[in-house]
Amino acid sequence: PVERTLSIIKPDAVEKNNIGKILAHLEEAGFKIVALRRTHLSRAEAEGFYAVHKARPFFGELVEFMTRSPVVISVLEREDAVDTYRKVMGATDPAKADAGTLRKLFGSSVGENAVHGSDSRENAKIEIAYYFPASEVAPSV
């Protein structure tokens, strides 16, 4: 079915001027960008977004990184969006990601890996609602 997922172009990719290339790649892959926002996350926003990772040893580093400079958050729509976007992103660690994936092309380490994507349909709904008011993600027709 046609569904939606949440994408974040992370600080490393924004710093390297790769916003346009990543968005073009997503459109080429058949995604419609149905909501889009550039913002500098506060510590509270980043901690809340990554709350499930709070107990992980890398949590502090993750929050530092995600608040270091602006990000570009979008809602992507297409058939099978959640799983398709995960394939387009590639493995979390860019060194292990397949050729041609966003993390291979634009990421540099497991922390600074260029993009985030929702890991399930359930989390996609939660993550979209975390960053976008309902009025900004209404059906586009």
Q: Assess 120 for contact with ligand CMP (CB under 6 A).
A: no
Say whether 25 is catalytic.
no
Residue 120: φ, ψ to 5°: -160, 165
- Using the rule CB under 6 A, is 110 a contact of ligand CMP? yes
Of the residues 25, 40, 53, 116, which is catalytic? 116
Q: Which of 27, 33, 29, 43 is nearest to 7 (CA)?
A: 33
Which stretch in 12-20, 77-85, 109-117, 125-133 sits in contact with ligand CMP by CB under 6 A?
A: 109-117
Q: What's the min distance (Å) between Cβ of 66 and ligand CMP?
A: 8
DSSP string, 50-96: TGGGTTSTTHHHHHHHHTSS-EEEEEEEEETHHHHHHHHH--SSGGG
- SS3 for 117? strand
Amino acid 71 reads V
Stretch that binds ligand CMP, among 22-30, 36-44, 57-65, 98-106 (CB under 6 A): 57-65
Catalytic positions, written as ranges? 116
Summarize as ranges the residues that interact with ligand CMP (CB under 6 A): 53, 58, 61-62, 92, 110-111, 113, 116
Residues placed in the known binding site for ATP: 10, 58, 86, 92, 103, 113
